[in-house]
Chain A
Amino acid sequence: MSAFWYYVFTLVFFLFDYFILAMGLNIQYGETGILNFAYIGFVAIGAYVTGAASLPNSAGTGQQYIMGWGLPFPFNLLLGGLVASAVAVLVALIALRRLRTDYLAMVLVSLSLVLYDVINNYVPLFNGADGLYNVPQPMAGIFHLTTNSFIPFFAVVTGLVALLMWFIMSRIMNSPLGRTFRAIRDDDGVAGALGKNPFGYKLTSMIIGAFYAGVGGGLIIQFGGSFNPTAWLPGETFVVFAVIIVGGVGNNVGMLVGALLVETLLIHLPAFLPEIPGHPGLIEYIDTMVVGVLLMVMLWFRPQGVVPERVRKSAGMLADRARGRGRQLTTASEGQGKSGE
């Protein structure tokens, strides 16, 4: 396979993976209003757990890690998502019960720094600062994949996973549960006065979002075969925030557009561009700056994002019933596309 296609499928992989990550952060922040500045920590947990579960027993591998069960795809991925969700429960119990949004954000930043330090310094957990490597390529044996053919194969697998997770997320967002999330986002005091327990719903939202984060992370470690501290610097959380803000908070199609614009075009594409002569590594810094500038421009001129949250019209609610079973897919593709306003 030519280097060109290798690049293209790498970009496709990151497009779909960040689509998943963006949907997870969107349900937390865009739908429920939880400013989760620790999001990348849940991505990392998913990555490490998926990796450590798929690796063989650590004895003789030159690495130290827990688990080492040789767990196959997709069970390793599912486990990564579930463990991330379990950690979200703990975080929610600590941080989400009483704190106001701004304090909560600070506590979450602190928690993600603590998590970062623990994982990167406590070697027996996930091999410390070296991180995990030599993670087996999923299904490579079954489909006789080579190092080259694995890249497009796994980009497609990620696309299918993203499609499934989009279906599930649309269903949640278009349900009464999604509506109650948005009520809490708009005014959790009012939601409480209407009999909704804000903490309970925020907890649910954290669990769902963390599962998406964990799965997205699990896909990353399986795609590249390794994962280490440089992959989840705490600032990475803001790249995912940039994806959802640019794309359009509250809209799944916006998540895909945001992933394309921010993650694929701005973060990953420049890595394949030729270096600026005499300034090695400069491009990488420039792209981070470009993301920052784009974020500011968007917040200034189009805070609702490229694809804004759609208005859920009563006619749609009435028509949905008539269409019966096919309703979720139709609302997802047709309804989400409408830009509202």
Chain B
Amino acid sequence: MSDNVTPTTGAPVYALQCQDLKKAFQGVLAVAGATFDVPQGQITALIGPNGAGKTTVVNLLSGMMPSDSGRMQLVGTDVTNWPSHKIARRGLMRSFQLSRELGGLTVLENLLVAPKHQAGESLFNIFFRPLAVRREERENVERALETLKTYGLYDLRDNRARELSGGQKKLLEIARAVMAQPKVLLLDEPMAGVNPALIDRIGEYILDLKASGVTVLMVEHNLNVVEKICDHVIVLAEGRTLATGKLSDLRANQDVVQAYLGEVINASTHG
């Protein structure tokens, strides 16, 4: 039996947990004690005003930068200050707020980089186990082409990734992360700057990922989207967790409304 469904042992029903995470840049506290849990198999939104530290939290959780203090757990394993590649190999993938495609590689190659522990990444295997390398590569190419079809990028497969439009790059980042078969997916504003039709499509993709068992934590400004697809919300303000819960509960929370939601809720519900 898997140990991740027995709450009595303290084993994770949470995919991610962080306690009192702190990170300062030149003395400015970007994250000033973030504490929250991300439930497994659900979609959680990370919201908060600009500069609240959301991206920094994503950077800490994915190991892109070390935290100054605090602890993080990924599916029950303490991964505090692990380097990003080790965290990734444990099943956490992420996208970037400002798309970071591998520009010189083709769209297809961007996906082909993603699978973990490829036989063909070893010099020994390339020359002494060429058949195993080729077999695995064939499987990966086929799966990557399928994934590109799903995300509507198939026709662009042979284009260099730097040639894509902003929206296409957002899709590519998600497709690339999915290609790595993540357990946990962190999305940093996956819908920012894309057209409304694409926003709906990306929302569908995220719901599909949830249906296939992936835990999603997404930074999102659009509260309509949050309302539609997210199960939980974490509110971050000035680097601290201000509140967590369901969006409907948070609307009733006076602190939250004052600190952040007020204007946004009013703006978005009027629209």
A contact residues vs B (CB 8 Å cutoff): 168, 171-172, 175-177, 179-180, 182-183, 185-187, 189-198, 201, 204, 208, 250, 309, 311-315, 317-318, 321
Contacts and interface: CB of A to CB of B under 8 A. Distances in A.
Nearest to B89: A195
B225 interface: no
Interface of B: 62-64, 83-85, 88-89, 93-94, 96, 100, 102-106, 108-109, 112-114, 116, 118-123, 126-127, 133-134, 137-138, 141, 145, 157-158, 160, 176, 180
Nearest to B144: A314
Task: Choose among B84, B89, B119 the residue with the greatest number of A CB atoms under 10 Å from its CB.
Answer: B84
Contacts, number: 110
Given A182-B102, A186-B102, A314-B145, A194 B114 contact: yes
Q: Is the interface of A mostly helix, strand, loop or mixed?
A: helix
Contact of B157 (A197, A250, A314, A321): A314
10 contacts: A172-B126, A175-B120, A176-B133, A177-B122, A191-B113, A192-B64, A195-B116, A197-B83, A309-B104, A311-B158
B158 A180 contact: no
B167 to A, nearest CB: 19
A320 to B, nearest CB: 8
B121 A193 contact: no
Contact of B113 (A171, A183, A309): A183
Given A191-B113, A194-B93, A309-B104, A177 B123 contact: yes
Nearest to A194: B114
Contact of B141 (A192, A201, A311, A318): A318
Nearest to A316: B158
Contacts of A195: 85, 88-89, 114, 116, 180
A314 B108 contact: yes
A194 B158 contact: no
A204 B83 contact: no
Q: Which 4 A-B pairs have the closest CB atoms?
A: A176-B120, A195-B88, A192-B84, A186-B102
B169 to A, nearest CB: 12
Nearest to A313: B158
Contact of B83 (A175, A183, A192, A312): A192
Contact of B127 (A171, A179, A194): A171
A198 B83 CA distance: 10
Nearest to B112: A179
A189 B94 CA distance: 11
